[in-house]
Structure 1
Amino acid sequence: MPFPFFGDDKSTIARLLSTLPQTGRVEWIGLRPARREQLLTVEEATAETDRHLTGDHARPKPGGKRQITLIQHEHLAAVAGFLGLAMPLAPGRLRRNVAISGLNLLALKNRQIQIGAEVVLEITGECHPCSRMEEELGPGGYNAMRGHGGLTARIVQGGMFRVGDEVRVLEKSSA
């Protein structure tokens, strides 16, 4: 009898994509008070439903796909390694809002996650690096970030969340 996840059945991929039993953790939160300014590290933030994080300069339109940006905490060490740095990078240098550990964020595209007790995000796509990475990280910064730029998300349900909060994948609705 073949292993249940292998075969020609189109539902095989659907089953594989749905196997995300682990939970993650918020490791860092950053807000940018104005364009091109350093991110401020904060212990908690308020996500406004279908808008942005309170205190962040970004003002996406309702329904926008880039209301909050996430980065895989484990990728900080990888990017540092690509640049020949001995220590993982400080998350704020990468210009994302939230660093999350324990979940493979790329596996969450088009899924919803809950942060803490209140906040629900819909993962909308990849957050590709820009030329600012060369300014921030030096020569090679752009290429070091390729594949490690994180994800964008829409805020489905707002609320307060904190460093240390649990991040869990929500089941897809059958509707």
Structure 2
Amino acid sequence: MNVVDNQLRSLFENFPRLGRVEWIGIRPIKREAPEAVSEVVVSEREGLIGDHYSGRSGNRHVTLIQAEHLPVIAALTGHDGVDPGLLRRNLVVSDLNLLALKDHQIQIGSEVVLEITGLCHPCSRMEANLGPGGYNAMRGHGGLTARVIRGGIIRLQDAVTVLPVDQTETGRLNKD
């Protein structure tokens, strides 16, 4: 690896601050609105315990959206604000640029480690939830999907820490 590659890699791993969990939602029943909870148990095999998606897809155990995008989505749809439950994501995280987390793992609180697996694109339900144009308002603001590397409990206000690539736990990112 040359000097430029090392410098670029260093930039990709430098985050100015910790994130924070602002909202947690689970959907016990498919197509129902998420229920806001203060904490959720997370399992490596099942994902979020109590969520209808639990155990279905290892690459989409958890969905995350950036808190700072909520006012943008509200503005684009002509609303004063947007209830996070309408967006059908599990976690709302503030103070951290989620789109910069490609190829990273994050630790939430003292226990849970997630591996970011991709973008969480909006679904057609955004038209019903946000009104005409809701789907397009969410494009680019839909958040991320993640799989659970280490389970535990996620609580409101938990810190979200980006793990350096060389310190990631066993998963796809740890290629050694």
**After TM superposition, is the score higher than 0.5?**
yes
TM-score (norm 1): 0.90
Contact conserved, 1:60 with 1:66, CA < 8 A, in 2?
A: no
Runs of at least 4 residues of structure 1 off by over 2 A? 8-13, 59-62
Q: CA deviation at 1:18?
A: 1.2
Q: 1:156 to 1:173 in 2, by over 3 A?
A: same
Partner of 1:103: 96
Deviations 1:1-51 (A, max 9, x none): xxxxxxx82333212211114101000000101110111000000111132
- Identity of paired residues, percent? 54
- Match of 1:74, SS? helix
- Corresponding letter in the other structure for 1:46: V
In proportion to residue count, which structure has more helix?
Answer: 2
After TM superposition, list the pairs within 5 Å mapping 1:114-129 onto structure 2. Answer: 114-129=107-122
- Corresponding letter in the other structure for 1:53: L
1:49 paired residue among 37, 44, 54: 44
Q: CA deviation at 1:61?
A: 4.2
- Corresponding letter in the other structure for 2:5: K
Partner of 2:137: 144
Contact conserved, 1:50 with 1:154, CA < 8 A, in 2?
A: no
The alignment yields a C-alpha RMSD, in angstroms, of 1.5
Q: Structure 2 stretches of 5 or more lacking a match?
A: 168-175
Aligned-partner Cα distance in 2 for 1:133–1:172: 34
Partner of 2:67: 73
- Match of 2:52, SS? coil
TM-score (norm 2): 0.89
Aligned-partner Cα distance in 2 for 1:21–1:9: 21
Aligned-partner Cα distance in 2 for 1:51–1:132: 25
After TM superposition, list the pairs within 5 Å mapping 1:20-35 onto structure 2. Answer: 20-35=15-30
